[in-house]
Structure formats: C-alpha cells, structure tokens
C-alpha cells in the first residue's frame, strides 16, 4: 500500500510538471523551463542588485527599486506630472535583458529632466497593468505607456480566487490550476478601459492597431515590429530591440508635445 501511494504521488508530481512545461495557454514567464533557465544563470549579487548572464552569455545587471520593481530608478510619490511610466510583462521587466538595457532606462536616457518609471510584472496581463496604474496613482503622470505583448494580455478574465491558501504547497498548486486564471476564447477588447486619458498602448507581436480601432479603442497607439535578429532565443528583446521601442516612443512624444 505504501509503495502504491508513493508511486501515485510521483505520477501526480510528474503530471503537474508536464502541464507546467507544456500547457500552451500559460504565460511563458511562469513556465518551469523559463524559471530554471534563468536561475541557472544567477552568478552573484544581493536581493537589490544582481549580476546575471543573458541568454547570449553576456553579463547584465538587474536592480530592484524601493517598491520592489526591477528598475533603474526609485519611484518617488509626489509631483509626477511631467514624468512617465512604462507598464508591461517580462518584456518591460527586462530581467532577461538587464535593468540598464530596458525600454524604460533607454527612454529615460533620451529625456532632458523627466523620469521614466519602470513597472514590469513577469507574466502580467491587462488586469495587472491597471492594478499597478491605480495602486501608484499613475493617472497623475504625463503619459503612461502600457505594452501589450500580444492577444494573451487581453485574454485573461479577472482572477477571483474563492479559496484561501493552505500550508500544503501541493494543495495550493492544484488549487491554483483549478481556481487560477481563466481565459476567454478570444481576445476581449472590452477589457481596455476608456477613462484613462494619459495611457498610450504599445502593440507588438500578434496584436495590431487595426484590431483595436475596429473594436472601438480610441487611445493613442504605437505599433511596433521587432525582427527575430533583435530577440533572444526565448523571444525577449535584446537591447537593440528595446532601443527601437524607446526611439519610437520618443518620436511619438516629439510629435504630440
């Protein structure tokens, strides 16, 4: 009986790992393969500043700011009326490319005196982006750029967990799969809020300006296309790809200011 229980537990663990590795609708940043790959590259550092290797084997630096986000600058609450922010998933977080190769940092370098805050949340979607927007009162900023990685960002329903976490890691993992994120059958453009005047959406990969316009989205939009040569093997952008995005944002600001 004991052997049977051990084997059963082993099969369940293997099943969970397989689902975690290959379940296509899970954000890739949450997958075990991404986490293990990144962890293996850790070579030194503390919780606030870490030197790691990017997928090309080059040393990069990741820095956490005063509110726990990977960013080149701390977030200072107060008069931010002339400052900017970039919100998005792991592409914005830039732990693969490095804090000082991020879109926010490269855009900040182009500014005269304004600050660009970086709010990247690995595996995030539109609900996370709006939560960040509200929590840090980003409506007070001059402009907030939300990077929509693709249609997945608009495919998640709001997560309403009905059960509390227990002391069992296994039970919490099963619960997160059962009670965890639910997806719409197709991108839900109604998730994009209409009452956020200072937000500009940056669209890339499989989401287009024409799709948003045809669904009644009137916000300012910046559509980008990043060649494979400007991406790492895992799809994240290299410094050159992030620089291209920062340049496009700056061109937009020069046109609209």
- pLDDT (tens digit, 9 = 90+) per residue, 24-57? 433 444 444 444 444 444 444 444 566 789 999 9
Same structural domain for residues 93 and 3?
no
Same structural domain for residues 62 and 147?
yes
Same structural domain for residues 66 and 122?
yes
For 175-234, what is each residue's pLDDT tens digit?
Answer: 555 555 688 989 999 999 998 999 999 998 789 999 999 999 999 999 999 999 999 999
Same structural domain for residues 125 and 220?
yes
We report the CATH number of the domain holding residue 201 as: 3.40.50.1110
Number of domains the chain contains: 2
- Cα–Cα distance measured from residue 213 to residue 104, given in angstroms and rounded to the nearest whole number: 26
Same structural domain for residues 141 and 203?
yes
Same structural domain for residues 107 and 59?
yes
What average pLDDT does the chain have? Answer: 83
pLDDT at position 175 is 55
Tell whether 174 is covered by a domain: no
3-state secondary structure the chain: CHHHHHHHHHHHHHHHHHHHHHCCCCCHHHCHHHHHHHHHCEEEECCCEEEEECCCCCEEEEEECCCCCECCCCCCCCCCCCCEEEEECHHHHCCCCCHHHCHHHHHHHHCCCCCEEEEECCCCCHHHHHHHHHHCCHHHCCEEEEEECCHHHHCECCCCCCCCCCCCHHHHHHHHHHHCCCECCCCCHHHCCCCCCCEEEEECCCCCHHHHHHCCCCCCEEECCCCHHHECCCCCECHHHHHHHHHHHHHHHHHHC
Nearest to 129 by CA among 88, 92, 190: 88
Same structural domain for residues 9 and 67?
no
User: The domain containing residue 76 runs over which residues?
Assistant: 52-157+181-256
Asked whether residue 22 carries a pLDDT value surpassing 60, the answer given is: no
Same structural domain for residues 1 and 104?
no
pLDDT band at 64 (very low <50, low <70, confident <90, very high): very high
Tell whether 169 is covered by a domain: no
pLDDT band at 6 (very low <50, low <70, confident <90, very high): confident
User: Which range (11-20, 85-94, 177-186, 244-253) has the least confidence?
Assistant: 11-20
Same structural domain for residues 11 and 56?
no
Tell whether 175 is covered by a domain: no
């Amino acid at each position: 009986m004991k052997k049977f229980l051990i084997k059963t537990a082993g099969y369940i663990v293997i099943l969970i790992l397989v689902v975690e590795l290959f379940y296509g609708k899970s954000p890739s940043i949450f997958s075990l393969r991404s986490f293990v790959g990144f962890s293996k590259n850790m070579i030194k550092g503390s919780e606030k500043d870490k030197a790691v290797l990017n997928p090309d084997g080059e040393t990069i630096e990741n820095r956490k700011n005063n509110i726990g986000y990977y960013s080149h600058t701390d977030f200072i609450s107060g008069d931010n009326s002339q400052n900017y922010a970039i919100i998005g998933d792991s592409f914005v977080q830039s732990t693969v490319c490095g804090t000082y190769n991020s879109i926010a940092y490269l855009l900040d370098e182009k500014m005269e005196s304004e600050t660009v805050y970086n709010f990247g949340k690995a595996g995030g979607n539109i609900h996370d982006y709006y939560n960040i927007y509200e929590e840090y009162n980003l409506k007070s900023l001059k402009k907030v750029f939300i990077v929509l990685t693709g249609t997945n960002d608009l495919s998640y329903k709001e997560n309403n967990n009905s059960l509390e976490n227990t002391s069992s890691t296994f039970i919490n993992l099963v619960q997160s799969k059962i009670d965890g994120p639910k997806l719409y059958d197709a991108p839900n453009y109604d998730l994009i809020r209409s009452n956020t005047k200072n937000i500009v959406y940056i669209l890339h990969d499989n989401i287009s300006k024409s799709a948003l316009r045809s669904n009644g989205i009137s916000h300012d939009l910046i559509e980008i296309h990043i060649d494979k040569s400007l991406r790492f093997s895992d799809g994240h952008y290299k410094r050159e790809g992030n620089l291209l995005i920062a340049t496009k944002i700056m061109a937009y600001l020069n046109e609209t200011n």
